[in-house]
Amino acid sequence: MRTNHKLLSAALLLIIGAISSCNKIASNLKYDLNMRTAEVTIVIPPYSDTTLNVTGTQTNHYNIDSFIKASTGDMMGIANIKSAKLMSCMLQLEQPTSTQNFANFRSCNGSFYTNGNSNPYRVSIDNNPDTYAEALNVPVDTTIDLKSYLNNNANQFTYSLGGRLRRPTTDSLRCKVSLTFRVSVQGL
């Protein structure tokens, strides 16, 4: 009987040790995920005044928790975000022409906010070249942590795009906006 008691005690210690090790392993799991929010199309209406900024805005939903769960085999979710950094902001005009493209803009700026953080985060090109362009890669600061925009409440993104014109536009400009984040998640 004593041998059974010793075996049972040893097995119990092994199980407790295994559970403790699993918790330590889970807390050490880390992933750096490239999250590309849904592409949105912003329409900038025709504008003849080059002294004022023109803008367009669009809101879209994106389920950050589902993205993280799908990327980590359901092991982590939005609560596991340790940091989020903007890696790129790409702008692509739909059906640009030789007289209606990004060369029309002296400067270009964009921003986004979420229902998790309503303070707009801004990016810009202050001196956009006067050359034909149907796409722009807006410079971003990849060192700023934007985790607060992706917190537990965030599932709605609002994007704005605009700038100051160099030459008037005669037609609406339809521009696709795509943001890519590096989201670092870690087990709890």
**Domain extent listing, the chain:** 30-186
pLDDT at 54: 85
What would the mean pLDDT of 48-54 be, rounded to a whole number? 84
Q: Are 181 and 52 in contact (CB under 8 A)?
A: no
Residue 64 to residue 79: CA distance in whole angstroms: 10
Encoded tokens for 97? 């022409």
Q: Are 164 and 105 in contact (CB under 8 A)?
A: yes
What would the mean pLDDT of 125-129 be, rounded to a whole number? 94
Please say if the pLDDT value at position 164 is more than 70: yes
pLDDT at 23: 47
What would the mean pLDDT of 132-139 be, rounded to a whole number? 96
Residue 106 to residue 2: CA distance in whole angstroms: 86
Sequential DSSP letters for 122-154: EEEESS--SS--SEEEE---TTS--GGGGSTT-
What would the mean pLDDT of 142-170 be, rounded to a whole number? 92
DSSP state of 39: P
More confident residue, 180 or 11: 180
Please say if the pLDDT value at position 19 is more than 60: no
pLDDT at 17: 53
Please say if the pLDDT value at position 106 is more than 60: yes
CA angle 158, 161, 164 (to 5 degrees): 155
CATH 2.60.120 correct for 30-186: yes
Partner residues linked to 30 by β-bridges: 186
Please name which of 119, 107, 125, 105 lies closest in space to residue 158, comparing C-alpha atoms: 119
Task: Tell me how crowded residue 181 is: count the other CB atoms within 10 A of its CB.
Answer: 22
Share of the chain above pLDDT 90, in %: 73
Which pTM does this prediction carry? Answer: 0.81
Please say if the pLDDT value at position 139 is more than 70: yes
What residues contact residue 98 under an 8 Å CB cut-off, 6+ apart? Answer: 132
Cα–Cα distances in Å, from 22 out to 72, 74, 116?
A: 16, 16, 32
Encoded tokens for 166? 């160099």
DSSP state of 47: B
Please say if the pLDDT value at position 35 is more than 50: yes
Please say if the pLDDT value at position 13 is more than 80: no
Tell me the average pLDDT of the chain. 87
The label of the residue with tokens 């005009």 reads 93
